[in-house]
Amino acid sequence: MRTTVNLDDDIVQRARAIAERYNKTLGEVLSDLACKGLQKRKTATKTRNGIPIFDLSSKPTSTLSIDEINELRDAD
């Protein structure tokens, strides 16, 4: 679907960098990021001594290399 949105310049720049890195279109990257942002986050279901306990046993859905982290950090 085609639509028009206003995005901050730095967001577009970072999304374009991701698109280039993974050989995707800007639209694909923005759609992926929107989906990840809209996913329901896990909430604590247990408490111990009044402190919420979160299950961290699941593996992350994506990982970044140290080079990718450095590139994102330096993009500002």
> Mean pLDDT for the chain?
85
State how far the alpha carbon of 56 is from the alpha carbons of 35, 44, 50, in Å.
21, 10, 18
Mean pLDDT in residue range 68-74:
87
Count of CB atoms situated within 10 Å of the CB of 44: 10
pTM of the predicted structure, to 2 decimals: 0.53
pLDDT at 55 over 80: no
Number of other CB atoms surrounding residue 15 within 10 Å? 19
